[in-house]
Amino acid sequence: MKFIFIFLLLLSHHLYADVNQKLFELYQKGMYTEACNYGYNFFAQNEHNEPFVSLVGFACLKADQIDRLSPVMSILSQTPDARSNSAYLALIVMQKKLLMRALYDNQPLQNLKFPTSSYILSKVFDLYVQNPKKNDIIKEYPDPINSRQAYKLYTTEVNGKKSIAIDEYYDKILTNHHVY
């Protein structure tokens, strides 16, 4: 009986290590959607493993699956790095929610001060706050750093759910389409 318990303990440790390794490999390969989905499959078993939870959060962020960040943010609290990651993810979620209110409910965002980040939603949020272009259905913004880069912000509906979309352009060629 003792042998079976030790065997099961070693097997569970091996599987735990394999889950972490596979998540890391998916992330490293740029397979963010797969990493997000994979991480969520093992989320409950690893919710006390803050590096695992952080990696799931960043995979979901890079996969534009922002709605999956809430459970991640609420768990990350035990270390300074985890709290920093939680605050960053919360910033992105808040910016999405505020843009949704501004675009759908005509709620002004002027006079709001938020930290800035390089994440595309955060960049476009900053551009929108500076110039909301209220009369434009599709809000077009040139990148202030790279004149060849531009963004379009607009509302859309996906499967009956109100969303916002951001299109990235480089030399007027669509390079990325994000739906939040």
- Tell me the pairing of strands 173-179 and 149-158: unpaired
What is residue 165's DSSP assignment? E
The residues, ordered by sequence, that sit 6+ positions from 29 with a Cβ below 8 Å of its Cβ are none
Asked if residue 119 is part of any domain, the answer here is: yes
Question: How do residues 123-174 score in pLDDT, each as one tens digit?
Answer: 999 999 999 998 899 999 999 999 999 999 999 998 899 999 999 999 999 9
Asked if residue 31 is part of any domain, the answer here is: yes
Extended strands (E) in the chain: 139-142, 149-158, 161-170, 173-179
Domain co-membership, 4 together with 74 = yes
Question: How do residues 65-120 score in pLDDT, each as one tens digit?
Answer: 999 999 999 999 999 999 999 999 999 999 999 999 999 998 888 777 888 899 99
Q: Which tokens sit at 22?
A: 């596979």
Q: Which residues pair with 166 in a beta bridge?
A: 153, 178
Question: If phi over 0 gives left and psi between -120 and 50 gives alpha, with beta otherwise, what is residue 133?
Answer: left
pTM strictly above 0.85: no
Asked if residue 45 is part of any domain, the answer here is: yes
Asked if residue 92 is part of any domain, the answer here is: no
Domain co-membership, 11 together with 68 = yes
